């Protein structure tokens, strides 16, 4: 988008018409206000007010990435870099999902004096990211009217005001009106901001919803909310059994949906929306950040499985295959910014005398070496040059993320010394939210050290004699000991 946007190629009229009778006043975001109304900050509730009656939901939300979507310093820096590079044309594109209220009220502003590339400011509730009122004011999705005909780029219709919408059909509140919404229980709600496509070339930069839509989870009616709005232990059971939370026996999710409610509900959803981000809430010093981080790590450490296979070769050469399975994510592993997320294998092979026979994927200065086996996508601009700047992306030239219930292999070779009687294989699957070079570029060198989470580790010991017997018999693989 950088080259594509620069020069005003997207500088359509403020109300950009996609088809007859449908306009989008915040284009290239597809946000709409119901009936074409306008809105001001006074129309939106502070989440603390919501927390008065919904303390459990508020406590979960305030350390979530939804709450920190606007003030996230990495996002802010990337957004500002894009703003400079495109003469401001990504303002609403990024803001539509990260500060919907700021975009719809016209109160989000770029400040060139904040940070390396500048930054953005917004007043009051507009700076509170994806707040309670944003989601619970949604009345519809306008996905069918986007340039791709699919959800994405904040393709939401909102009606701020007294009515709050959710999945309870008989909710009664002394503070506001309520309305049942089937959409709030479906992945199609999340899709509108968890699919992002380039507004000029329509390339799917992020396609988490599409990954889910093509998965076994969608085929079994498992929704985003069924994994990301329940504790990780429940999410594991959902993934392992392909059963929605409310159909699980003894799910333990009963509770009061609000203070003073008439009685307990069969299932009360958490509002932490925890995924894999272990960095931002802690960096910002948000209350509850450590709990959020611990939950994210727990999810990362339970999403994948590892297996090891040794295939003996002739004259001492051996093939090692490490199988990585996406066991419990309803989307690809990794997802979202798949060209920035870091998921890779770190593998060592040592013999019984401690000699290192193979080493791959060990960090160097907190950076993943280029020859590591990585499960990522590589993106290019319109000229075929590698880029990780979302506004420049025109396509992917390499795709190696792991689909739901699918797997990928890391393949290696090593030679066992003749005097070795056994050897040990240690394989780790590691995760970083983004690579260190990106953090240094956006925030300044050394501003943050991107943490590493070991998602899974597997160690197996093998006897050299088994390799020799397998080589002689040409067996396909060697059993571990």
- Residue 11 within any structural domain of the chain: no
Q: How many domains does the chain have?
A: 2
| Range name among 4-18, 137-151, 246-260 with the lowest pLDDT average | 4-18
Spatial contact of 405 and 327, defined as CB atoms under 8 Å apart: yes
What residues contact 96, with CB distance under 8 A and at least 6 apart?
Answer: 26, 28, 29, 30, 31, 103, 153, 154, 193
Measure the CA angle with vertex 140, ends 138 and 145; round to 5°: 130
Spatial contact of 229 and 257, defined as CB atoms under 8 Å apart: no
SS3 411: strand
- Residue 125 within any structural domain of the chain: yes
- Residue 18 within any structural domain of the chain: no
For residue 166, pLDDT beyond 80:
yes
Task: For residues 66-93, give the mean pLDDT.
Answer: 97
Confidence at residue 3, expressed as pLDDT on a 0 to 100 scale: 35
307 and 285 both lie in a single domain: no
Nearest to 471 by CA among 310, 308, 358, 320: 310
C-alpha pair distances (Å), 198 with each of 94, 100, 473: 11, 18, 55
Last residue of a domain, one of 244, 278, 296: 296
324 and 199 both lie in a single domain: no
Confidence at residue 280, expressed as pLDDT on a 0 to 100 scale: 84
Confidence at residue 79, expressed as pLDDT on a 0 to 100 scale: 98
Give the number of other CB atoms < 10 A from CB of residue 60.
Answer: 23
Task: For residues 407-425, give the mean pLDDT.
Answer: 95
Confidence at residue 20, expressed as pLDDT on a 0 to 100 scale: 58
What residues contact 365, with CB distance under 8 A and at least 6 apart?
Answer: 436
351 and 468 both lie in a single domain: yes
- Cα–Cα distance measured from residue 417 to residue 317, given in angstroms and rounded to the nearest whole number: 10
For residue 46, pLDDT beyond 90:
yes
- Residue 456 within any structural domain of the chain: yes
DSSP 230-252: S-HHHHHHHHHHT--GGGSTT--
Q: Read off the pLDDT band of 1 (50, 70, 90).
A: very low
Task: For residues 385-396, give the mean pLDDT.
Answer: 97
83 and 193 both lie in a single domain: yes
Nearest to 91 by CA among 81, 100, 79: 79
More confident residue, 466 or 414: 414
243 and 142 both lie in a single domain: yes
pLDDT in tens, 321-342: 999 999 999 999 999 999 999 9
- Cα–Cα distance measured from residue 135 to residue 139, given in angstroms and rounded to the nearest whole number: 9
More confident residue, 2 or 369: 369
pLDDT in tens, 426-440: 999 999 999 999 999
Q: Read off the pLDDT band of 465 (50, 70, 90).
A: confident
More confident residue, 284 or 372: 372
Residue 269 burial (C-beta neighbours within 10 Å; 0-12, 13-18, 19+): buried
**Matching residue, tokens 């001001």:** 40
Radius of gyration of the chain (CA): 25
Nearest to 142 by CA among 265, 284, 36: 36
SS3 294: helix
Nearest to 94 by CA among 115, 120, 117: 120
C-alpha pair distances (Å), 205 with each of 78, 187, 199: 15, 19, 10
CATH number of 368's domain: 2.60.40.10
Structural domain range at position 61 = 32-252+267-296
| Range name among 1-10, 105-114, 302-311, 347-356 with the lowest pLDDT average | 1-10
Confidence at residue 75, expressed as pLDDT on a 0 to 100 scale: 96
**Matching residue, tokens 């401001």:** 88
What's 255's DSSP letter? Answer: B
105 and 62 both lie in a single domain: yes
Task: For residues 33-48, give the mean pLDDT.
Answer: 96
* Joined tokens for residue 77: 């820096």
- Cα–Cα distance measured from residue 110 to residue 359, given in angstroms and rounded to the nearest whole number: 46
C-alpha pair distances (Å), 293 with each of 174, 314, 342, 367, 430: 35, 47, 17, 21, 16
Nearest to 96 by CA among 157, 189, 30: 30
Task: For residues 182-196, give the mean pLDDT.
Answer: 98
N residues, the chain: 481
- Cα–Cα distance measured from residue 333 to residue 157, given in angstroms and rounded to the nearest whole number: 30
Spatial contact of 18 and 146, defined as CB atoms under 8 Å apart: yes
Confidence at residue 18, expressed as pLDDT on a 0 to 100 scale: 54
Nearest to 142 by CA among 17, 273, 13, 9: 17
What residues contact 170, with CB distance under 8 A and at least 6 apart?
Answer: none
Spatial contact of 139 and 165, defined as CB atoms under 8 Å apart: yes
The torsion defined by the Cα of 248, 250, 253 and 259, in degrees rounded to 10, comes to: 130
277 and 375 both lie in a single domain: no
Confidence at residue 261, expressed as pLDDT on a 0 to 100 scale: 85
- Residue 262 within any structural domain of the chain: no
44 and 89 both lie in a single domain: yes
For residue 469, pLDDT beyond 80:
no
368 and 386 both lie in a single domain: yes
160 and 72 both lie in a single domain: yes
C-alpha pair distances (Å), 202 with each of 24, 82, 170, 247, 423: 17, 17, 41, 38, 50
User: What pTM does this model have?
Assistant: 0.93
Q: Write down the mean pLDDT value for the chain.
A: 92
Confidence at residue 35, expressed as pLDDT on a 0 to 100 scale: 92
* Joined tokens for residue 398: 């390499």
pLDDT in tens, 27-36: 999 999 999 9
């Amino acid at each position: 988008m950088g080259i594509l946007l620069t020069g005003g190629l997207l500088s359509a009229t403020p109300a950009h018409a996609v088809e007859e009778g449908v306009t989008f006043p915040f284009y290239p975001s597809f946000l709409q206000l119901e009936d074409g109304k306008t809105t001001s900050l006074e129309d939106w509730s502070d989440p603390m007010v919501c927390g008065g009656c919904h303390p459990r939901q508020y406590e979960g939300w305030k350390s979530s990435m939804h709450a920190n979507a606007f003030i996230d310093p990495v996002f802010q820096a990337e957004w500002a870099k894009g703003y400079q590079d495109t003469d401001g044309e990504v303002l609403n594109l990024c803001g539509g999902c990260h500060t919907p209220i700021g975009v719809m009220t016209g109160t989000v502003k770029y400040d060139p004096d904040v940070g390396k590339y500048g930054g953005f400011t917004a007043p009051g509730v507009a700076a509170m990211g994806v707040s309670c009122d944003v989601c619970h004011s949604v009345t519809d999705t306008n996905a069918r009217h986007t340039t791709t005909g699919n959800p994405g780029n904040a393709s939401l219709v909102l009606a701020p005001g007294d009515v709050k919408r959710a999945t309870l059909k008989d909710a009664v509140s002394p503070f506001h009106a309520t309305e049942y919404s089937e959409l709030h229980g479906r992945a199609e709600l999340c899709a509108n901001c968890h699919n992002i496509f380039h507004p000029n070339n329509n390339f799917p930069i992020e396609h988490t919803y599409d990954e889910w839509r093509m998965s076994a989870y969608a085929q079994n009616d498992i929704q985003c909310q069924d994994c990301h709005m329940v504790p990780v232990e429940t999410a594991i059971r959902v993934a392992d059994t392909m059963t929605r939370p409310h159909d699980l026996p003894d799910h333990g999710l009963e509770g009061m949906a609000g203070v003073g409610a008439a009685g307990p509900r069969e299932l009360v959803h958490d509002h932490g929306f925890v995924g894999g981000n272990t960095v931002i809430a802690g960096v910002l010093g948000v209350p509850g950040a450590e709990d959020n981080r611990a939950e994210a790590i727990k999810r990362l450490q339970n999403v994948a499985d590892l297996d090891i296979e040794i295939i003996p070769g002739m004259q001492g050469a051996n093939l090692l295959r490490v199988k990585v399975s996406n066991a419990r994510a309803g989307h690809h592993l990794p997802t979202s910014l798949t060209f920035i997320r870091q998921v890779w294998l770190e593998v060592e092979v040592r013999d019984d005398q401690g000699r290192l026979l193979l080493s791959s994927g060990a960090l160097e200065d907190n950076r993943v070496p280029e020859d590591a086996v990585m499960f990522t996508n590589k993106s290019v601009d319109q000229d075929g040059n590698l880029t990780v700047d979302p506004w420049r992306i025109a396509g992917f030239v390499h795709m190696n993320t792991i689909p739901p219930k699918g797997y990928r292999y890391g393949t290696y070779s090593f030679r066992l010394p003749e005097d070795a009687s056994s050897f040990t294989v240690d394989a780790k699957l590691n995760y970083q939210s983004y690579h260190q070079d990106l953090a240094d570029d956006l925030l300044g060198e050394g501003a943050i050290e991107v943490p590493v989470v070991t998602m899974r580790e597997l160690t197996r010991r093998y006897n050299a004699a088994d390799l020799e017997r397998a080589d002689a018999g040409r067996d396909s693989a060697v059993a571990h000991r």
